[in-house]
Amino acid sequence: AISHDWQQVIHDPRLQQVVTIALNSNRDVQKAIADIDSARALYGQTNASLFPTVNAALSSTRSRSLANGTGTTAEADGTVSSYTLDLFGRNQSLS
């Protein structure tokens, strides 16, 4: 996850190899990159609560019974949907 933009500045292949080894072996740099990635993920989760959420579900039921030699069929379909808008800033005040 280390950016290779520095390779455009350093043109000596041996020096590029030394810098690559140093970056890949340096645990402080690796930890800093992991911390930045973690902070970005946390930032995304925090801001996700500010946007509307949409949930939807669909169900269908079908049953058939035979009584006295005659058949009846009953069907039911339904849809449920919901959404939450932060009209009065509730979600924003919670974060």
Task: Give the pLDDT band (50/70/90) at residue 68.
Answer: low
What is the predicted pLDDT for the residue at 19?
87
CA distances to 7, 9, 20, 22, 25 from 12, rounded to whole Å, are 9, 9, 12, 15, 20
pLDDT in tens, 16-36: 898 888 888 888 878 888 888
Reported as a single tens digit per residue, the pLDDT across 32-50 is: 888 888 888 888 777 776 6
**What is the Cβ-side half-sphere exposure of residue 75, based on CA atoms within 13 angstroms?**
2
pTM over 0.75: no
